[in-house]
Amino acid sequence: MALQWSNVSVKIGGKEILHNVSGTVAPGELLAIMAPSGAGKTTLLNTLNGRISYSGEICVGNMPLNKSLRRRMCYVLQQDYFFSNLTLKETLEFTAMIRLPDELSVEEKKVRLQSVIDALDLNKCLDTEMGGIFTPGLSGGEMKRASIACELIQDPDIIFLDEPTTGLDSSTTTSLISLLKTYAAECSKSVIASIHQPSSQNFFQFDKLMLLTGGQVAYFGETRQVVQHFQSVGIAVEENYNPADFILEALSESEEVKTKLLSASKSNRVQYRDGEMLNFSGGIEVDEKLANGVAFSDMGRCD
């Protein structure tokens, strides 16, 4: 199911946090939301997940976001809390038994759980205790994958992750993003993650990038086109420089850069009419399935 949002604005305490934000993510795609601190990336995640009141339009599979559609989503927070003395296997089995519908038998629930364990490569640490601040247990990367597994058990169509790589080393981060990308592609899931200054290797694993500044869209399009887009508005990314670092540093330091990017973005914004996408920002090409009116809800689910 494709997630689309158009002209989304959010005000909190009289202050506008998001201003006319538009975008889309299709099944099989991994979208990164990047922004300097305080620019609204977590607020956008909370809004798209239906946790914050907003003005504008959010659609899932061409249907306005509602309570029923929210059940097709999951949200992995930065920090989850587990019973430290339970093993990973006990934690996941407990989660599966209480979160999966009663219509499924115990065996069916175990089959669903095992598919998630395999997808996130957790078999080797099933007998390890979760651990905590004062007790040894799972590593940081394993703990993050455990958090994701607890949400994927329900087989959501759209997955939100709030800075899933925080506190992880470069190697673990690369492995996690690769797992998410593979899972999205193989199971036709839409994955949206806020991310803070990834390495260049991890940065280009994302299919799409949404860049925010001051609650507005500075760029939305294919990640591999962002350097070309910056150059097209007169902002040259230095050679041998991590594009993710350059982008955030440029936005944080220069009002001129912000003005150029916001101006370019406004002239190429994502627009919708009667549920149809008219165009993308950032020079990205319109997806052929959307252009031809194919409903993503008709695409196969990952069983």
> Does some domain include residue 111?
yes
Same domain, 87 and 142: yes
Within 8 A by CB and 6+ apart from 154, the residues are 74, 99, 100
Q: Which of 170, 184, 162 is nearest to 141 (CA)?
A: 170
Which domain does 86 fall in, by range?
80-155
> Does some domain include residue 35?
yes
Q: What is the pLDDT of residue 267?
A: 65
Let me know if 144 is exposed, middle or buried by CB neighbors in 10 A (0-12, 13-18, 19+): buried
Structure tokens belonging to residue 262: 């916001």
Query: Of the residues 155, 189, 209, which one is the last residue of a structural domain?
Result: 155
Same domain, 163 and 258: yes
Tokens 């219509």 sit at which residue?
103
* Mean pLDDT, rounded, for 169-175: 89
Same domain, 151 and 161: no
Same domain, 245 and 190: yes
* Mean pLDDT, rounded, for 246-250: 84
Structure tokens belonging to residue 253: 């330091």
Q: Which amino acid is at 82?
A: F
Q: The CATH number of the domain where 221 resides is what?
A: 3.40.50.300
Evaluate if residue 293 carries a pLDDT over 70. no
Same domain, 162 and 269: yes
Count of domains in the chain? 2
Same domain, 124 and 256: no
Q: For 216-229, how does the pLDDT look when each residue is reduced to its tens digit (9 = 90+)?
A: 999 999 999 988 88
Same domain, 135 and 188: no
> Does some domain include residue 303?
no
> Does some domain include residue 253?
yes
Binned at pLDDT 50, 70 and 90, residue 295 comes out as: very low
What is the C-alpha separation between 21 and 35, in angstroms, rounded? 13
What is the C-alpha separation between 222 and 301, in angstroms, rounded? 24
**Cβ atoms 151, 184 nearer than 8 A:** no
Q: What is the pLDDT of residue 269?
A: 57
Evaluate if residue 289 carries a pLDDT over 70. no
Q: What is the pLDDT of residue 209?
A: 95
Same domain, 32 and 89: no
Q: Quick one: residue 153, left, alpha or beta (phi over 0 = left, psi -120 to 50 = alpha)? A: alpha
> Does some domain include residue 174?
no
Same domain, 67 and 85: no
Same domain, 57 and 194: yes
Tokens 């593979």 sit at which residue?
182
Binned at pLDDT 50, 70 and 90, residue 79 comes out as: confident
Q: What is the pLDDT of residue 62?
A: 84
Which residues sit opposite 32 in a β-bridge? 193, 209
Binned at pLDDT 50, 70 and 90, residue 288 comes out as: very low
Of the two residues 121 and 234, the one the predictor is more confident about is: 121
Same domain, 242 and 208: yes
Evaluate if residue 236 carries a pLDDT over 70. yes
> Does some domain include residue 258?
yes
What is the C-alpha separation between 73 and 145, in angstroms, rounded? 17
> Does some domain include residue 31?
yes
Evaluate if residue 107 carries a pLDDT over 70. yes
Same domain, 121 and 133: yes
> Does some domain include residue 172?
no
What is the C-alpha separation between 43 and 195, in angstroms, rounded? 13
Q: Which of 29, 53, 60 is nearest to 192 (CA)?
A: 29
Q: Which of 113, 82, 81, 83 is nearest to 97 (CA)?
A: 113
0.95 surpassed by pTM: no
